[in-house]
Chains A and B, each alone.
Chain A
């Protein structure tokens, strides 16, 4: 920035679709209009979001002391903010302070999200100035097997939910002799309560491209596909733009960064089918078919897209690969607990006061996430339950809030960390309705290939309705248990196999909600909320 009479102030206004959903575009327009009138010298940069979503639109001004934040800013606030001296970081009721020093952000350990919200997502200069391409350059200097070994020893596990070690998957693909191999990124982030993939794609797209390119080098792939759900139009547009820019700069295409690596990357848009987040279903969809699940084996690493060896990883997994290569496996593995190494990107959503992205080492407790970071519910009522890991994850009562977030601890408690989504509900939630919804959702989104999922989910809705209506309650509860066993054991994939998890957890921890509702059922009528006995065991 020059120091002439009227220096140009740099003002950041996020272009993330969550920020846009609450008026960021209008705020940016208001700022630009003020600049166009000549009243203020400012340059608006559209960055990603810092992930403090309750503060969006979060406007940041570059000052000698750091980037000072104001938020949430309504378009009508802009005049007053400028008049108050926002461009110099002056005081105002909306002034939050230096953004990097805000406790909510400063306490986190941003590894995958280090650049998201800081940079202009489509600026190659910003990307390089903030450590971009260091991972790819490091990878290209080493033989593929070394890169795979580095990823393996970092302990990086698949972030899509299953937590499978990424390096082991890559090794399998590397060892296949085929000429044609693929790298596929699963960006079909359909789980409610998860939005980190979207924020990476909208906020730091080059990082994902870099990660996929490293994967291509590591396994010997020449083509990549990025399968993005159609519900994310902004992510699709940003990724397409970023891929075009990357190609122009020689970060994609032939002879990447002067090496012998050739890699082409294509964006594919889904069709609104939740099941396509399941990896084999996604592969079918990429082939232009119905998104039905494949039986495994063969595993996609050996027979994947069009029958070729294929790496299938989630956005966050591939986006974390560059930093693993740039800083070394040891630095990454030093974070975390037990077999859950590195950081996890938790997403706080639902009925929560301070929702957004919390990236921190594994081992943080639910209580820290929901109470300390989240600040309790948005409605101000008591928290009753959180659902962790998406629509197929367990509903947990507040008595389990000291559970550390790691894959194994959650599995031992009959729950799953999954993709790191945490959805909060207050005390008005009806857990029988949530259990019914889990079955209803499965019925709507089942691919239909296997009977336990396709038919079991429909029967599940019916049985829960009967239980709540008080019809043959004990028999139907036994039937529901049996049905859950059957779906868990007999389904082809996680859709049918995990739908019982929210249902069972609701039954276990919130049994009273399944008592009959009709007053004429007498003794079975639902107890008032004050006498609930859930979660006291």
Chain B
């Protein structure tokens, strides 16, 4: 283990998050969410600290972090767009949105080289009567057609 400045920061973030959830049963997931909220992802350096905090093996913690789609191993772009690809949105052209993003150079699961945008797929945002649905930086949008997706990607749609 190196002890660079960033490691110290990661360690303090993880230990603070763990301290904030002390006394809760089975708190690893809430702590992982807290770490990601703070750092934008769950860095590799966090694994050993978490293992220490929870008295688990590093393999156990690694197993949990990698099991859940939500936990990122590296930070997303400044804008995260999640396109719903589940059945209800498929019925209204979700695949067309994915194709539109791909033509704009945005492949699912990848972040643009300038770190501006990450486009991901998601299976159901619970907006099945107003599809196709997409989520931009945590905000839900309904009836998203390619033109609207385009403006969301450009950041031209206000809040």
Q: Are B129 and A54 in contact (CB under 8 A)?
A: yes
Q: B157 → chain A, closest Cβ, in Å?
A: 11
Contact B87 A387 (CB under 8 A): yes
**How far is B145's CA from A379's CA once the two chains are assembled, in angstroms?**
13
Is residue B63 contacting chain A, with contact meaning CB distance below 8 A? yes
Q: Which residues of B contact A426 (CB under 8 A)?
A: 91
B residues less than 8 Å from A230 (CB atoms): 33, 70
| Candidates A268, A272, A347; contact of B128 at CB < 8 Å | A347
Question: In the complex the two chains form, is B127's CB within 8 Å of A350's CB?
Answer: no
* Docked-complex contact B140 and A17, CB < 8 angstroms: yes
**A269-301 vs B: 1/0 string, CB under 8 Å?**
111111000000000011111111000000000
Q: Is the beta-carbon distance between B129 and A355 smaller than 8 angstroms?
A: yes
Cα distance A271–B90 in the bound complex, in angstroms = 23
8 Å CB contact of B88 from A22, A350, A429: A350
Check A53–B29 contact: CB distance below 8 A. Answer: no
> How close is B32's CB to chain A, nearest CB, in angstroms?
8
Q: Is the CB of A290 within 8 A of B126?
A: no
Closest-CB distance, A402 to chain B (whole angstroms): 22
Interface of B is mostly: loop
The answer to whether residues A288 and B70 also contact, given A18-B130, A421-B128 and a CB cut-off of 8 A, is no
With A21-B133, A271-B68 as known contacts, state yes or no: A351 contacts B92, CB within 8 Å: yes
With A54-B129, A273-B69, A424-B91 as contacts: A192 and B140 at CB distance below 8 Å: no
A21 touches B123 (CB 8 A): no
Using CB atoms, name the residue of chain A closest to B31. Answer: A288
Render B112-150 as a binary contact track against A, CB cut-off 8 A, 1 for contact.
Answer: 000000000011111111110101001011110000000
Evaluate contact between B130 and A56: CB separation under 8 angstroms. yes
- A193 CA to B130 CA in the complex, in Å? 11
Are the CB atoms of A233 and B138 closer together than 8 Å?
Answer: yes
Asked whether A441 is an interface residue with its Cβ less than 8 Å from the other chain, the reply is: yes
Q: Interface size on B (CB < 8 Å)?
A: 42
CB of A462 within 8 A of chain B? no
State whether the Cβ of A425 lies closer than 8 Å to any Cβ in chain B. yes
B64, A289: Cβ atoms under 8 Å? Answer: yes
Cβ of A266 within 8 Å of any chain B Cβ, yes or no, is yes
Pair B64/A437 contact, Cβ less than 8 Å: no
Q: Is the CB of A290 within 8 A of B87?
A: no
Q: Assuming A290-B64, A290-B67, is B123 touching A190 (CB within 8 A)? A: yes
Residues of B within 8 A of A132 (CB): none
Q: How far is the CA of A84 from the CA of B27 in the complex (A)?
A: 55
Contacts of A232 in B (CB 8 A): 126
Q: Contact at B142–A18, with CB atoms within 8 Å?
A: yes
A302–B53 alpha-carbon span in the complex (Å)? 30
Q: How far is the CA of A192 from the CA of B141 in the complex (A)?
A: 16
Q: Answer yes or no: A378 CB below 8 A from chain B CBs.
A: yes
CB-contacts of B4-31 with A (<8 A): 24-30
Question: Which of A195, A290, A350 is close to B92, meaning CB atoms less than 8 Å apart?
Answer: A350
Q: Give CA–CA (A351, B86) in the complex, Å.
A: 13
Let me know if A164 is at the binding interface, CB within 8 A. Answer: no
B127 engages A291 (CB within 8 Å): no
Question: Are A21 and B127 in touch, CB under 8 angstroms?
Answer: yes
B129 touches A352 (CB 8 A): yes
Cβ-defined contact, A350 with B87, below 8 A: yes
- Which among A18, A21, A56, A351 has the greatest number of chain B C-beta atoms within 10 A? A21
Give the docked Cα–Cα distance between A499 and B50 (Å): 36
Check: A100 CB closer than 8 A to any chain B CB.
Answer: no
Q: Which residues of B contact A191 (CB under 8 A)?
A: 124
Given A20-B140, A271-B29, A288-B28, A441 and B133 touching (CB < 8 A)? no
How many residues of chain A get a CB closer than 8 Å to chain B's CBs? 63
A288 to B29, CA, bound (A): 5
Tell me if A195 and B126 are in contact (CB < 8 A).
yes
A231 touches which of B25, B32, B122, B159 (Cβ 8 Å): B122
Q: B71, B89, B90 — which one has the most chain A CB atoms within 10 A of its CB?
A: B90
Q: Say yes or no: A192 contacts B129, CB within 8 Å.
A: no
With beta carbons under 8 angstroms apart, the residue of A21, A53, A271, A292 that contacts B70 is A271
Asked if B26 contacts A287 (CB within 8 A), the reply is yes
In the bound complex, residues from chain A placing their C-beta under 8 Å from that of B86 are 192-193, 391
Which A residues are in CB contact (< 8 Å) with B140?
17-18, 20-21, 234
User: Chain A residue with minimal CB distance to B141?
Assistant: A21
- A22-B130 contact, Cβ under 8 Å, with A272-B68, A290-B63: yes
CB of A189 closer than 8 Å to a CB of B: yes
The answer to the question of A329 belonging to the interface, with a C-beta cut-off of 8 Å to chain B, is no
Contacting residues, chain A, for B130 (C-beta < 8 A): 18, 21-22, 53-54, 56, 355
Q: How far is the CB of A225 from chain B (nearest CB, A)?
A: 8
Instruction: Note all chain B residues with C-beta closer than 8 A to A194.
Output: 124, 126, 128
Chain A CB count within 10 A is highest, among B33, B67, B89, B128, for B128
State whether the Cβ of A349 lies closer than 8 Å to any Cβ in chain B.
yes
Q: A273 CA to B68 CA in the complex, in Å?
A: 6
Q: Which of B67, B91, B124, B125 contacts A351 (CB 8 A)?
A: B91
Nearest-CB distance from B1 to chain A (Å)? 23
Chain A contacts of B87 at CB under 8 A?
Answer: 192-193, 350, 387, 391, 423, 434, 437
Report chain B residues within 8 Å CB of A198.
126
Residues of chain B at the chain A interface (Cβ within 8 Å): 24-30, 32-33, 54, 63-64, 67-71, 86-92, 122-131, 133, 135, 138, 140-143, 159
> What would 19 A/B residue contacts be, using CB atoms closer than 8 Å?
A17-B140, A18-B126, A18-B142, A21-B127, A21-B133, A195-B126, A269-B30, A270-B68, A271-B32, A273-B69, A285-B29, A287-B25, A306-B26, A350-B92, A356-B129, A378-B92, A387-B87, A423-B128, A445-B123
Residues of A bordering B, CB below 8 Å: 17-18, 20-22, 25, 53-54, 56, 189-195, 198, 230-234, 266, 268-274, 285-292, 306, 347-352, 355-356, 378-379, 387, 391, 421, 423-426, 429, 434, 437, 441, 444-445, 447
Known: A18-B130, A270-B70. 4 other contacts (CB 8 A): A190-B124, A272-B122, A348-B129, A445-B123
